[in-house]
Structure 1
Amino acid sequence: MSPAVAAPRPEEALSLFRDVRARTEALVAPLAPEDTMLQSMEDASPAKWHLAHTTWFFEEFILRPRHAGYRSPDDRFAFLFNSYYVQAGPRHARDRRGLISRPGLPAVRDYRAHVDAALDDLLGRGGDPGIAALVELGCHHEMQHQELLVTDLLHGLSHNPLLPSYRDPEPMPVTEEVPLGFTGHAGGLVEIGHDGGGFAYDCEGPRHRTWLDPFEIADRPVTNRDWIAFMEAGGYADATLWLSDGWARRGQEDWDSPLYWWRQDGCWWTYTLRGPQPVNLDAPVCHVSYYEADAYARWAGARLPTEAEWEVAFRDRPVAGNFLDEGQLRPMPGGGPWGDVWEWTQSPFTPYPSFRPPEGAIGEYNGKFMVNQMVLRGGSCATPLAQIRPTYRTFFYPHQRWQMLGLRLARDARP
């Protein structure tokens, strides 16, 4: 959390805490115990681990140091469910989380209930506003893991030949193609970053000035219809469109379409949390890497926006759209800049001027990841709405595809 942000009142933090914890349980409710053990790759974690790790976060950073009477049900959980907080102690190997069959799912749910009761007790006493601020941070941390839980589950279930559905299939609306248009922006000296009002992560600030040359940004994201045109034009086979690292990755992983796509009976299909479905031509393209997005933009005679351009272009637009709250769990046609898919920018995830991470293990939340990753903006159909604000920066490595990742075009303003 940004140090400039005022702490919520204890009763506000408690209400948020209960709501967030309930949503995580609701997301896991349709799963069989076997589903909660799936770990299909190192980047993904089992749903059971997400349940436990988010609980450990509250225990480690709030209950252990701030609740004198708190006792963990099992001190070994700190080793099993720490993620990357080096200062918090040793941790189980990330790529072997799917091998943690014990504690079982009932024991993990008991762990959650134990921590929930202790947090209720601590916040019910009021007192130190620093506790409420840490609870708020823990809630936003759990919201991030709600998104990861959903996308990790999608990746895990995609390896099942039966292609099971997490939610009942529902057809998408029949829509018409929306022509691609661009809106111009004058640029100049602008301010971006969080201003200190309301919750924000440390990496969203400090607010600072930056220069933008005049630019144009697309009025809609790139759609599946657009992407199929790129594929049919040989975009995946034209090395001149690709960054060198991207071309190498394309060859290593045999990319010729977005993740989860396949050709069947002359049509493109995709796997979703609602099961296999025909690709909706007018929905935003999803599950494409930065390398693919950059190649597409070059093919289209455009480029990816910078994160400053994206923020300036859309920060005055109401934050509303197809988020996790809507329950669609897939991009839908006709949306705006918010929701549906995260949109790649050409900006590396680096610190803003004068950035300083918080002291202690909490300072490991974002700061140590500020290298070799790219910023995305806007949120997705798997992102809780409460997470999103105009300054929110998420970040992924340029080769990653399993998240709900798409793109929007930009270009330099025409004279």
Structure 2
Amino acid sequence: MTEPALDSLDSPDAETLRSRALTTLTTARERTTLLTTCVDEPDLTAQHSPLMSPLVWDLAHIGNQEELWLLRAVAGRDPMRPEIDGLYDAFEHPRAERPKLPLLPPAEARTYAAEVRGRVTDVLESADFHGTRLTEAAFAFGMIAQHEQQHDETMLITHQLRKGPPALTAPDPEPAPLFTGPAEVLVPGGPFTMGASAEPWALDNERPAHRREVEPFFIDTTPVTNGAYQAFIEDGGYEEQRWWTRDGWAHIRRNSIHAPLFWRRDAGSWLRRRFGVTEVVPRDEPVLHVCWYEADAYARWAGRRLPTETEWEKAARFDPATGGSTRYPWGDSDPAPEHANLGQRHLRPAPAGSYPSGESPLGVRQLIGDVWEWTASDFLPYPGFQAFPYKEYSEVFFGPEYKVLRGGSFAVDQVACRGTFRNWDHPIRRQIFSGFRTARSGAA
């Protein structure tokens, strides 16, 4: 069920807000339940990679954050389990240390999360969506739904890292004809409005909306494909220092990286492991599981560059017919299945050139869904940024240590993905569902 987009309504009434909040929370919980019931208890409590938490930690953390914000902060309720707050504080305990903590066992974690959700549902039935910035337009409920869906994507990454037989299944995207459109699209120079304004559930790093000037540039019509990336590998891309930044070259040499994560060469073919299944790498899918350094090196090899975050957003949101900025490439309406590959309904990217209904007015495709796209930009605040409702969501990450990713992957839900949504990570990260597209400066 898809509720009307909140920012497309003049003054959404309480019932509309209530319905949207309940729908998004329920959708998130259904996904969490699937991700934590498809494996046995040993897989829930194990740490499948030092980069990730045990799945059981994510489960209880989701419940704890929901209690902190919706029961304590919004409803003023007394703490249910104050003794566990520290265990599930993401800043207090790095991921590598979490298996050593006295975590709630799976059954107890499920019971706790369910009890929290039951009380939240009661709160939602009589919630006042006015009066404070936290409750205005049901922001806190939307924030928590986004938080849970972000952890659902994190848990899916853990499933990808997990060894053993497949635990998850999903239908593949619909086959798409080989894309024969233009390889790149011209994005005109000039001003555009970047960032969120009327989007009620936008997070602090998306705000405030502001005007940006952009020089004309070309951007790839689709994300870079596995086939294109294989050409980079076969041309010795990983052996040529000239394509890499100094830090990137040191990183791939130190870690003996010669291909995207989960790829291996066998009998002349490239194979990959995807959620427990080994398969031939499909040439027409967007390349996946590459770090920023790999994306940047490929772009240099191709005689191009990564788009800046500003360029990416203009390509995704600018409508030359009106001069305005839309919520999504296709307009202001919420994503539908014909627009983008979202919500873990498929467990892989769709072929490059899919979803013509989701292309931007300029003709750029797959800007939302399929793969997170690395940009050239560091994660920095917008002019006039204000942390809300807590500094640890964005502010503590600002700086050159993190690069911005845009667009969302097949693993992210629509509530946590829009034209203004900003993701970020270290440039060495490859376990995430990351790909990229390239750009070049200049006009026609």
| TM-score normalized with structure 1 length | 0.89
Deviates more, 1:305-314 or 1:295-304: 305-314
Contact kept in structure 2, 1:11 and 1:123, CA below 8 Å = no
Match of 2:248 among 239, 242, 246: 246
| Residue 398 (str. 1) matches residue 400 (str. 2) | no
Shift of 1:109: 0.4
Instruction: State the SS of the aligned residue for 2:28.
Output: helix
User: Who is 2:32 aligned against?
Assistant: 24
Gaps in structure 2 of 5+ consecutive residues? 1-8, 318-325, 355-365
Contact kept in structure 1, 2:172 and 2:346, CA below 8 Å = no
| Residue 368 (str. 1) matches residue 408 (str. 2) | no
Deviates more, 1:245-254 or 1:38-47: 38-47
User: Who is 1:271 aligned against?
Assistant: 273
- The letter of the residue matching 1:368 is V
Instruction: State the SS of the aligned residue for 1:113.
Output: helix
Deviates more, 1:286-295 or 1:145-154: 145-154
Contact kept in structure 2, 1:349 and 1:375, CA below 8 Å = yes
Gaps in structure 1 of 5+ consecutive residues? 85-90
CA distance in 1 between counterparts of 2:340 and 2:20 reads 25
CA distance in 2 between counterparts of 1:42 and 1:355 reads 33
Match of 1:354 among 372, 384, 401: 384
Shift of 1:291: 0.4
CA distance in 2 between counterparts of 1:127 and 1:106 reads 33
User: Who is 1:295 aligned against?
Assistant: 297
Shift of 1:153: 2.1
Trace 1:207-356 onto structure 2 (pairs within 5 A): 207-273=209-275, 275-315=277-317, 317-318=329-330, 319=335, 320-325=339-344, 327-334=345-352, 335=354, 336-356=366-386
Deviates more, 1:191-200 or 1:293-302: 191-200
Partner deviation per Cα, 1:80-103 (whole Å, 9 max, x = no partner): 11112xxxxxx3443122334642
Q: Could you say if the C-alpha distance between residues 168 and 139 of structure 1 is closer, same or farther in structure 2, counting changes exceeding 3 Å?
A: closer
Partner deviation per Cα, 1:18-61 (whole Å, 9 max, x = no partner): 33222211222212112212323443122111111111111122
Q: Could you say if the C-alpha distance between residues 245 and 69 of structure 1 is closer, same or farther in structure 2, counting changes exceeding 3 Å?
A: closer
Contact kept in structure 2, 1:269 and 1:276, CA below 8 Å = yes
- The letter of the residue matching 1:279 is V
Instruction: State the SS of the aligned residue for 1:189.
Output: strand
Contact kept in structure 1, 2:186 and 2:443, CA below 8 Å = no
| Residue 144 (str. 1) matches residue 176 (str. 2) | no
Contact kept in structure 1, 2:189 and 2:214, CA below 8 Å = yes
Q: Could you say if the C-alpha distance between residues 20 and 301 of structure 1 is closer, same or farther in structure 2, counting changes exceeding 3 Å?
A: same
- The letter of the residue matching 1:142 is E
Q: Could you say if the C-alpha distance between residues 68 and 296 of structure 1 is closer, same or farther in structure 2, counting changes exceeding 3 Å?
A: closer
Instruction: State the SS of the aligned residue for 2:374.
Output: strand
Contact kept in structure 1, 2:145 and 2:415, CA below 8 Å = no
CA distance in 1 between counterparts of 2:84 and 2:140 reads 20
CA distance in 2 between counterparts of 1:179 and 1:116 reads 47
User: Who is 2:112 aligned against?
Assistant: 111
User: Who is 1:48 aligned against?
Assistant: 56
Instruction: State the SS of the aligned residue for 2:82.
Output: coil
User: Who is 1:87 aligned against?
Assistant: none
Shift of 1:133: 2.3
Q: CA RMSD in A?
A: 2.3
Shift of 1:177: 6.4
| TM-score normalized with structure 2 length | 0.83
Shift of 1:218: 0.8
Trace 1:16-95 onto structure 2 (pairs within 5 A): 16-68=24-76, 70-72=78-80, 74-84=81-91, 91-95=92-96
Shift of 1:180: 6.0
Q: Could you say if the C-alpha distance between residues 26 and 252 of structure 1 is closer, same or farther in structure 2, counting changes exceeding 3 Å?
A: same
Deviates more, 1:216-225 or 1:163-172: 163-172
CA distance in 2 between counterparts of 1:212 and 1:368 reads 28
Contact kept in structure 2, 1:11 and 1:124, CA below 8 Å = no
Contact kept in structure 2, 1:194 and 1:205, CA below 8 Å = yes
**Aligned-residue identity in percent:** 33
- Following TM superposition, where does structure 1 have runs of at least 4 consecutive aligned residues deviating by more than 6 angstroms? 5-8, 169-172
| Residue 377 (str. 1) matches residue 406 (str. 2) | yes
Instruction: State the SS of the aligned residue for 2:346.
Output: coil
Instruction: State the SS of the aligned residue for 2:142.
Output: helix
Deviates more, 1:39-48 or 1:364-373: 39-48
| Residue 194 (str. 1) matches residue 222 (str. 2) | no
Contact kept in structure 2, 1:169 and 1:274, CA below 8 Å = no
Contact kept in structure 2, 1:169 and 1:275, CA below 8 Å = no
